[in-house]
Amino acid sequence: MDKIKIVGGTRLHGVIPISGAKNAALPLMIASLLTRETVTLANMPLLADVMLLERILGNHGVDYAIAGKRTGESVDAGRTVHLTAREIVDTTAPYDLVSRMRASFWVLAPLVARCGEARVSLPGGCAIGTRPVDLLLMALEKLGAKLDIENGYVVASAKNGLIGAEIDFPKVTVGGTHTALMAASLARGTTVLRNAAREPEVVDLADCLIKMGARIKGAGQSTIEIEGVGSLFGARHAVMPDRIEAGTYAMAVAMTGGDVLLAGARADLLQAGLDALAQAGASITETNEGLRVTRNGAGISPVDVTTAPFPAFPTDLQAQFMALMTRAKGVSRITETIFENRFMHVQELARLGARIKLEGDTAIVTGADHLDGAPVMATDLRASVSLVIAALAARGETTINRVYHLDRGFERLEKKLRGCGAEIERITAAG
């Protein structure tokens, strides 16, 4: 199993290209099941989760082709892929695939919308709480699907097609909103989603569906209206830049000091995170190329944050911000309201010398004068990269184990950081 070794203490200087967003790419890929025609996605990140979803879609009959690079094109340009679901050959998504990535459960919606039936294993993914799928299933039932749970599988049927409905989500759900958008696009009549997720990734999916012929109004707002159509078409769409990756590297710069251009990053996608970084002492400047992040001289100030649905501070940056606060000059409070079990990185940060006390859903972080390198273990995707941020500022050497979590969501992380001066290397299992 691969490890990452980091020797801390180096300021970051240079350019980090921001990849396409994983959390947008996955639902966009799944949306290809809605049409017989080819969906072309540009700016696709090369990630373990993307490759796993390729296998899952292939199991359903989706042809997946990667466009070749053009002359002079940088490796940082992202891949262009073509997905064609001309014929759905299997409406079952098996446990051995779905259990490894919970987003793959979303294939349930386009399969039942297009084929009138689906059999999909209940999901797996990061162990950061129960993350139930009840709201996804509620949305499909509102649209007329008949659902049963059989031997760990959700069995859905809508032999006469789905029918538009009013869906009131009791709480904001990104997965439920994605699911409802895809299913309602092919339902007869009008669907209205209330208390819908406003995340940029939801808007990205809606934009692509509109290019495919869907009739959607209000994406990015809490109420979305979808007028169903008889069929969808092929389309070309560029995946939005990854706001979580951008926020993560911005926090790494704030942690170590330095001056880095996050090429392709957009401030409007993570303003709450940038506001917190500015309060902590980092300087963020929008440019034509992306976001420039600097921190020189002054120390890190403590900042209190509370995670909440977009446009508030994202839960996917909570662990990284906690790593930053371990070096703040004072006490900060970080409250997690989205997932009930997303503080598993606390014990590993403590191995580096962090001083963190948990009180229910709040972590109280007392900044330390320094951190010291140590062997640590990644527990999930965002927790693993929080250890990278801490290690970049720690004295001496840190070894991070179980880095396959990192490969699920960060493309070429070691190369990007090494290009800005970080002393970081991957140790392969054979080495």
Give the pLDDT confidence of 368-406 residue by residue, as tens digits.
999 999 999 988 877 899 999 999 999 999 999 988 889
- Quickly state the pLDDT bin for 70 (edges 50, 70, 90): low
For residue 407, say whether it is annotated as part of any ligand binding site. Answer: no
Residues 205-225, mean pLDDT to the nearest whole number: 98
Flag the least confident range among 16-20, 126-130, 355-359, 376-380.
Answer: 126-130
Task: State the average pLDDT for the chain.
Answer: 93
Could you tell me how many residues make up the chain? 431
Task: Report pLDDT for 431.
Answer: 47
For residue 22, say whether it is annotated as part of any ligand binding site. Answer: yes
Residues 23-27, mean pLDDT to the nearest whole number: 97
For residue 140, say whether it is annotated as part of any ligand binding site. Answer: no
- Is 133 a residue whose pLDDT tops 90? no
Question: Does the domain at residues 22-238 carry the CATH identifier 3.65.10.10?
Answer: yes
What is the per-residue DSSP string for 229-292? -S----EEEEPPB-HHHHHHHHHHHHHH-EEEEEET--GGGSHHHHHHHHHHT-EEEE-SSEEE
Residues 310-334, mean pLDDT to the nearest whole number: 97
d(CA 169, CA 179): 12
At position 337, the amino acid (one-letter code) is T
Q: How many CA atoms lie within 13 A of 227 on its CB side?
A: 3
Which residues 6+ apart lie within 8 Å of 351 measured at CB?
A: 374, 375, 376
Task: Report pLDDT for 126.
Answer: 42
Task: Report pLDDT for 21.
Answer: 97
Phi, psi of 335 (to 5 degrees): -110, 130
Nearest to 383 by CA among 48, 1, 11, 127: 127
Catalytic residues: 126
- Quickly state the pLDDT bin for 71 (edges 50, 70, 90): low
Flag the least confident range among 73-82, 86-95, 98-107, 226-235.
Answer: 73-82
Percent of the chain at pLDDT > 90 equals 84
Which residues 6+ apart lie within 8 Å of 69 measured at CB?
A: 77
Flag the least confident range among 204-208, 276-280, 282-286, 298-302.
Answer: 298-302
Task: Report pLDDT for 362.
Answer: 96
d(CA 87, CA 89): 6
Task: Report pLDDT for 280.
Answer: 97
- Is the Cβ–Cβ distance between 261 and 220 less than 8 Å? no
For residue 23, say whether it is annotated as part of any ligand binding site. Answer: yes
- Quickly state the pLDDT bin for 350 (edges 50, 70, 90): very high
Range list for CATH 3.65.10.10 in the chain: 3-18+241-427, 22-238
Task: Report pLDDT for 73.
Answer: 61
- Is the Cβ–Cβ distance between 286 and 267 less than 8 Å? yes
d(CA 11, CA 9): 7
For residue 131, say whether it is annotated as part of any ligand binding site. Answer: yes
Q: Which has more confidence, 381 or 228?
A: 228
Residues 218-222, mean pLDDT to the nearest whole number: 98
Q: 41-68, pLDDT tens digit by residue? A: 999 999 999 999 999 999 999 999 998 7
Task: Report pLDDT for 430.
Answer: 64
pTM: 0.94
For residue 133, say whether it is annotated as part of any ligand binding site. Answer: yes
For residue 211, say whether it is annotated as part of any ligand binding site. Answer: no
Question: Does the domain at residues 3-18+241-427 carry the CATH identifier 3.30.365.10?
Answer: no
- Is 125 a residue whose pLDDT tops 50? no
Which residues 6+ apart lie within 8 Å of 229 measured at CB?
A: 185, 186, 213, 214, 215
Cβ burial 104-134 (10 Å sphere, 16+ → b, else e) = bbbbbbbbbbbbbbbbbbebbbbebeebebe
What residues are paired with 39 via a beta bridge? Answer: 83, 235
Which residues 6+ apart lie within 8 Å of 80 measured at CB?
A: 40, 41, 42, 43, 44, 66, 67
Task: Report pLDDT for 379.
Answer: 83
Flag the least confident range among 106-110, 138-142, 295-299, 331-335.
Answer: 295-299
- Is 359 a residue whose pLDDT tops 90? yes
For residue 3, say whether it is annotated as part of any ligand binding site. Answer: no
- Is 124 a residue whose pLDDT tops 60? no
